[in-house]
Amino acid sequence: DVKVTQSSRYLVKRTGEKVFLECVQDMDHENMFWYRQDPGLGLRLIYFSYDVKMKEKGDIPEGYSVSREKKERFSLILESASTNQTSMYLCASSFTGIPLHFGNGTRLTVT
C-alpha cells in the first residue's frame, strides 16, 4: 500500500512564526504536491514538485515556499505564519503529474 505520511495531524502556531509541514512518501514517486483545503473553496494547489530540487508554483503560492532535497520528502514552509493561513494542508504524490495518493492532512491553526 502506498503511504503518504504527514508528520503532524494538528498544529497550533502563533502569528509570525516560521512553520514547517513535512510530507514523506514511500513509493518512489517523482511528483509531490501541497494543497490547502478550506470550507466552500475545495482543494487549492500551493506548490508541486516533479523532481528533487525542482518546484513549480500552483494557484496560491503567496506566503509559502517548499523544499525537496530528497525524492521521498516534500516540505511546505510558511515563512511568517498569518491567521489567514489557518487551514487543512494536504500532501499528495504520484508517478504522473496528477496527484493520486493523499496524506491524511495537517490541520494548522495560526493564532
Partner 1 sequence: KNQVEQSPQSLIILEGKNCTLQCNYTVSPFSNLRWYKQDTGRGPVSLTIMTFSENTKSNGRYTATLDADTKQSSLHITASQLSDSASYICVVSPYNQGGKLIFGQGTELSVKP
User: Is residue 33 classed exposed, middle or buried when 0-12, 13-18 and 19+ CB atoms within 10 A define those classes?
Assistant: buried
Which of 4, 66, 78, 81 contacts partner 1 by CB under 8 A?
A: 4
Going by DSSP bridges, is the β-strand pair 10-13/106-110 parallel, antiparallel, or unpaired? Answer: parallel
Three cell numbers, residue 91: 500532501
Smallest gap, in angstroms, from Cβ of residue 42 to partner 1?
Answer: 4
Interface segment toward partner 1; rule CB under 8 A; list 11-19, 38-46, 65-73, 78-86? 38-46
Residue 41 engages partner 1 in binding (rule: CB under 8 A): yes
What is the distance between the alpha carbons of residues 67 and 46, in angstroms, rounded to a whole number? 13
Among 50, 35, 45, 30, residue whose Cα is nearest residue 88 = 35
Q: Which of 34, 46, 48, 55 binds partner 1 (CB under 8 A)?
A: 48
Asked if 45 is part of the footprint of partner 1 (rule: CB under 8 A), the reply reads: yes
- Contact mark string toward partner 1, 8..37, x via CB under 8 A: -x---------------------x-x----
